[in-house]
């Protein structure tokens, strides 16, 4: 409690200086921003020590605090701030580069390859310099003398976007998109513009070494990590009468992206399950791979067609504070932080909400329920509401989960209510939730994501060829089952 009170006082004092001496001088800018950031997290983040014990968390904060001086570059300060969020290990909690840092990056010569990351391997999938075309499909084993496994561990410890102490699949799979690895290497490993590579060409066992130059002009967007654009239709369906299966693919549960309303989602789900029922299909595939989340009650709506009994998705909603006036003076502050104290009950950890739509119990659907074999496809980029959907699927044994570990924590998700602000001196953009929700789940680790019943590890060749190994596996299972039970 003393640490929290000290942080509140410290935060208020620093914020009072924004229009004072700090604003008139460059002196102390990194230290001031660091205290604003850590003070805000210590007083308002709802689940700060979810994956890193408090003593260790504060030890690292003290160590980072000692490095705060005017000699730090913008990249080094961003690295330090990101280290803090990497200890939280919660996918919604993040710090993004300043607009100035992004603009500066546009002229930097970055790592010239787009890559696939496979836990401790790095495979070239595309080159941004045509003179290195023959490197595509090669496996890189070291960069500037540093083994790839060591580089990946460095990114896991610094680059954020993990959920749970032992779950890094979301980060690893996201670094495999676009030029995200090139950006991460610059921000968190080395700002060099030349790269000595240890590598092996596809199908060869002999290691080789070559020097490559970076490629400038790669940064054209406003954010890191870059993710795929949302699809025009967030829900697609397939009814395959001949093969005796139906497919429901949901690419996002985020109805506010403007594609579908909540009502439209539910209408599509109902029409889909009606068709499945009308045709008497016995196999169902639900695909939430690369679904970055949104409204979790949409996932609950799907589950009411699959789970034959009433269930309660959440145990409770927790927040550490009901008062956020100290943050509202920060630049570009956003957040719906008007909480009625009568809606909450105070406890030793903060405040629990008494009632909310997500805390209710949901009954099974009376019509069009499905009782055949269900396969659920997920991966590391199944985030937030998609990951909670996987957790509930596992808990209620609603289907066979096929793919890779989900991108969220199995037992907890933070979200729904968010705050955003910009640190006044560095311009780093901060975003994190102020609600933490305890999932009503069982038979899973709080430090991992939902673990598949059937884990599919793709080979470099399958990744490069675009082979959908999860779908291929499921269709083989359906075909074998149909042959056994014609």
- Give the span between the Cα atoms of 290 and 402, in whole angstroms: 14
pLDDT of residue 26 exceeding 60, the answer is: no
Supply the pTM of this predicted model. 0.91
pLDDT of residue 484 exceeding 90, the answer is: no
Distance from chain centroid for Cα 154: 18
- Give the span between the Cα atoms of 115 and 128, in whole angstroms: 11
Look at phi and psi of residue 375 and say left if phi exceeds 0, alpha if psi is from -120 to 50, else beta: beta
β-strand partners of 429: 96, 422
* Residue-level length of the chain: 486
Residue among 376, 372, 371, 369 at smallest CA distance from 286: 376
pLDDT band at 158 (very low <50, low <70, confident <90, very high): confident
Looking at residue 24, its pLDDT comes to 34
Angle, helices 180-188/74-88, rounded to nearest 10 degrees: 110
SS percent in the chain: helix, strand, coil, step 5:
35, 20, 45
Cα–Cα distances in angstroms (integers) from residue 483 to residues 285, 446, 480, in the given order: 18, 40, 5
pLDDT of residue 134 exceeding 60, the answer is: yes
Residue spans of beta strands (DSSP E) within 94-182: 94-96, 113-117, 122-127, 139-143, 146-147
pLDDT band at 485 (very low <50, low <70, confident <90, very high): low
Mean pLDDT of 44-56: 93
Residue among 64, 167, 104 at smallest CA distance from 387: 167
**SS3 per residue for 50-102:** CCCCHHHHHHHHHHHHHCCCCCCCHHHHHHHHHHHHHHHCCCCCEEECCHHHH
How many helices (H) and strands (E) the chain has is answered by: 14, 20
Mean pLDDT of 427-455: 94
Lowest mean per-residue pLDDT among 25-39, 79-93, 247-261, 354-368: 25-39
pLDDT of residue 228 exceeding 90, the answer is: no
β-strand partners of 197: 143, 210
- Give the span between the Cα atoms of 122 and 140, in whole angstroms: 5
Cα–Cα distances in angstroms (integers) from residue 301 to residues 133, 150, 265, 273, 386, in the given order: 47, 43, 9, 12, 13
> What does the pLDDT look like over 319-352, one tens digit per residue?
999 999 889 999 999 998 888 999 999 998 899 9
pLDDT band at 453 (very low <50, low <70, confident <90, very high): very high
Residue among 351, 324, 315 at smallest CA distance from 419: 324
Name 94's Cβ contacts closer than 8 Å, sequence gap at least 6.
Answer: 85, 160, 161, 430, 431, 432
Looking at residue 44, its pLDDT comes to 94
> What does the pLDDT look like over 179-191, one tens digit per residue?
999 999 999 999 9
In what helix (H) or strand (E) does residue 317 lie, and over which residues does it extend?
A: strand 314-319
Looking at residue 486, its pLDDT comes to 58
Looking at residue 167, its pLDDT comes to 76
In what helix (H) or strand (E) does residue 10 lie, and over which residues does it extend?
A: helix 2-15
Average pLDDT, the chain: 90
């Amino acid at each position: 409690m003393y640490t929290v009170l000290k942080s509140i006082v410290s935060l208020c004092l620093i914020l009072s200086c924004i229009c004072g001496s700090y604003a008139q001088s460059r002196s102390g800018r990194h230290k001031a921003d660091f205290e604003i950031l850590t003070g805000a997290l210590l007083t308002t983040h709802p689940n700060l020590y979810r994956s890193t014990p408090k003593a260790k968390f504060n030890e690292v904060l003290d160590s980072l605090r000692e490095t705060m001086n005017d000699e730090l570059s913008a990249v080094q300060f961003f690295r330090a701030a990101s280290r803090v969020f990497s200890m939280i290990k919660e996918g919604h909690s993040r710090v993004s580069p300043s607009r100035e840092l992004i603009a500066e990056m546009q002229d930097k010569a970055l790592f010239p390859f787009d890559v696939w990351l496979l836990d401790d391997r790095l495979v070239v999938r595309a080159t941004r310099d045509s003179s290195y075309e023959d490197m595509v499909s090669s496996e890189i084993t070291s960069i500037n003398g540093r083994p790839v496994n060591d580089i990946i561990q460095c990114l896991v410890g610094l680059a954020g976007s993990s959920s749970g102490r032992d779950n890094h699949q979301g980060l690893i799979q996201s670094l495999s998109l676009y030029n995200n690895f090139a950006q991460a290497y610059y921000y968190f490993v080395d700002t060099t513009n030349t790269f000595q590579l240890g590598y092996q060409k596809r199908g060869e066992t002999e290691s080789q070494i070559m020097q490559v130059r970076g490629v400038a002009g790669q940064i054209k967007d406003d954010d890191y990590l870059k993710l795929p654009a949302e699809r025009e239709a967030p829900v697609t369906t397939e009814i395959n009468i001949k093969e005796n299966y139906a497919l429901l693919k949901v690419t996002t549960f985020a109805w506010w992206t403007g594609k579908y309303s909540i009502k439209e989602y539910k209408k599509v789900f109902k029409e889909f399950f009606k068709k499945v029922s009308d045709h008497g299909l016995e196999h169902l595939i639900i695909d939430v791979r690369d679904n970055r989340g949104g409204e979790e009650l949409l996932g609950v709506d799907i589950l009411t067609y699959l789970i034959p009994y009433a269930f309660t998705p959440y145990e409770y909603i927790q927040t550490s504070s009901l008062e956020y006036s100290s943050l509202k003076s920060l630049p570009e502050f956003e957040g719906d932080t008007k909480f009625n104290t009568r809606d909450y009950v105070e406890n030793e950890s903060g405040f629990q909400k008494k009632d909310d739509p997500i805390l209710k119990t949901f009954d099974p659907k009376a019509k069009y329920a499905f009782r055949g074999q269900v396969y659920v496809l997920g991966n590391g980029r199944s985030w937030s509401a998609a990951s909670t959907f996987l957790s509930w699927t596992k808990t209620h044994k609603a289907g066979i989960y096929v793919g890779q570990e989900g991108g969220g924590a199995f037992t907890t998700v933070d979200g729904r209510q968010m705050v955003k602000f910009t640190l006044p001196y560095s311009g780093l953009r901060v975003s994190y939730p102020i609600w933490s929700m305890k999932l009503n789940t069982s038979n899973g680790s709080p430090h991992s994501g939902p673990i598949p019943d059937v884990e599919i590890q793709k080979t470099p060749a399958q990744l490069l060829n675009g082979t959908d190994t999860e779908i291929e596996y499921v269709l083989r299972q359906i075909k074998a089952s149909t042959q056994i039970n014609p």
